[in-house]
Structure 1
Amino acid sequence: MLISSFVQRTGEAPVAPTLRRAADTAFGRDLAGALAHRPRTISPKYFYDATGSHLFDRICELPEYYPTRTELRILQQCVPEIARLAGPRAEIVEFGAGSLRKVRLLLQAFEAPARYLPIDISGEHLAEAAVLLRAEFPKLDVQPVVADYTQGLALPASTTGRRIGFFPGSTLGNFTPEEALAFLQGAAEVLRGGALLLGADLVKDPGVLHAAYNDAQGVTAAFNLNLLARANRELGASFDLDQFAHYAFYNAPQQRIEMHLVSRVRQAATVCGERFEFDEGESLHTENSYKFTIDGLRELARRAGFRPGPVWTDPERLFSVHWLHAP
């Protein structure tokens, strides 16, 4: 099956938006802006519509993709210590909540958690997961927050125990170093008096990294290409998905994976009524995934105002989980 067909079949029925409505959306503005400049790059937050979120859930199950299962194993082993650090009646704030598998470990281990605030840009995906959590934890106050957590957040006042932030999955690596610092500074303010439980992928053998982002089943490629499929559905864009290729590689000097969508031919596409040309071989840079050293991550946290606490990792040192005390 062609990857473009796979993306289209996993998505919702196409919508024919008006050009004005499409151009007025954040996605429409940001994609048109990205294509108007070279080199072309767009935030990976636009991967996560309903289709993209489901595709990412599939990526997390792939044999090549180690971060999810490794982080889960770490959390399973250290969650009793995390629960002691959090204390009773804690409030959990999860930045970028996804399938909620990992936070279940915290909710089951914490002493009478008072409230759970999952924050995500994909409202539909978040609502589905929240319904399941309410059924599983009927005494828990679950309040989904549909928002971009990279922007300023206005959360309900905490009236119970400490506010514990949860940011698993190494999403911090999707930010530039400057953006990562800014996010951590904002999180330190939101979590004041509490703590942040943070997942961070570690620097390792480039071969392991290459395989993780170029899986044999092509699910990561479909996830990447879904950004263009989403533009076709939501913005009335005219991308020919068969004429773009998924390309991911490890940039060793920058210590990051880069993902691109590379034009196979010279072509043009329209977005929000504007025409954009692509040269053969030209790319749209869709994601960076920075890898960290433990010492480097702890220093970054200090610069943001946190006081680094315990660090947990796996025997192969593929991944790390950090407890950071908020000021």
Structure 2
Amino acid sequence: MLPARVVVYFVLAMCLFSGQAYEEVARLLTEGLAWAGRWRGRWEVPSTGAISRARARLGPEPLRALFARVCRPVATAETVGAWYRGRRVVAVDGTTLDAADTPDNDAFFGRPGSGRGDKKSAFPQVRLVVLAECGTHAVFAAATGPCTAAETVLADTLLPHLQPGMLLLADPNFPGYDRWKTAAATGADLLWRVKSDVVLVVREQYQDGSYLSEIYAARDKRRVHGQLVRVVEYTVAGHEETGPIRLITTILDPGQAPAAELAATDWDADEDEIDRRVKQLEAISRPVTAEEAQALASCFGPDDCYGVAWTLLHLIETGPGPVPVVQRPGPNADEWHHTLWSRWGNPESPDDGSAS
């Protein structure tokens, strides 16, 4: 019988080796555990049925508890793109994930419509909404539901995870009076994009081009219980025909957050370029070979490159081990040298501050 802790390792390994069959993931896992000194003795790879039964015995609670315990924002003070004037930049966003094609998943999660065949998608789909740190893409809160679940409803369950010192970004699908009020009550600052049909009356104009306004609940027909917001409007060069983009924020003092800075919602990052690099890494077959791991290790720069470096790091760690050798960081070593040393460090390496 598979020990519960090994089943937890196995589920995590399936995320790293998502393109592999159960038995192959189990083989790679035990090789890794043996290399790390956490597995001793001979062991036959269990069948798919045995693994499925072990997962059923484990249930979801240990993994839910593990996520709650270890998933946290991870950016340091030096992480590029993670901060805005001392505030940790986080975002709420949603997506869907394919689930295994089983009757139980079909009944609970459902399938979205399709223009082919029986008018339903090939797999049940899970609606996923997360809170993630923008500088590292680290997810620190998540909610799931059927594919028909509203992202806003799932997002409401995540708001208690916000903290003072955070700046929460959201796209136009999320703003709403009650949601805004609840999120602001956590002490986090908010910077949300709103749709063009939201009425925002100018209460006071500021020199930086932003202005003070109020938002109201739809049920407040007399508009007497408003929430003060500051509005930033701007257009994107080459897309003037689409009209201005509007942001609302809890940061009412323009001196603390000038309009021009808030309009730079890409936080100095080219999202298209980041997505392109992530897709390049995701296209590499896993697990990588030892030679590929060594080559990929040479790609690290001085920081986490808006989370791309974490994707690179996890890709390297799918290799057969040992991981690439890292020299002990010297006094002028950058953040990622220290990160790699903490994960892959070789205590016997010379203290010359270089990385191989």
Range class of TM-score, shorter chain: under 0.3
If each structure's helix is expressed as a fraction of its own residues, which one has the higher value?
A: 1
Structure number with higher relative contact order (C-alpha < 8 Å, ≥ 6 residues apart): 1
Normalising by structure 2, report the TM-score. Answer: 0.22
Higher Cα Rg, which structure: 2
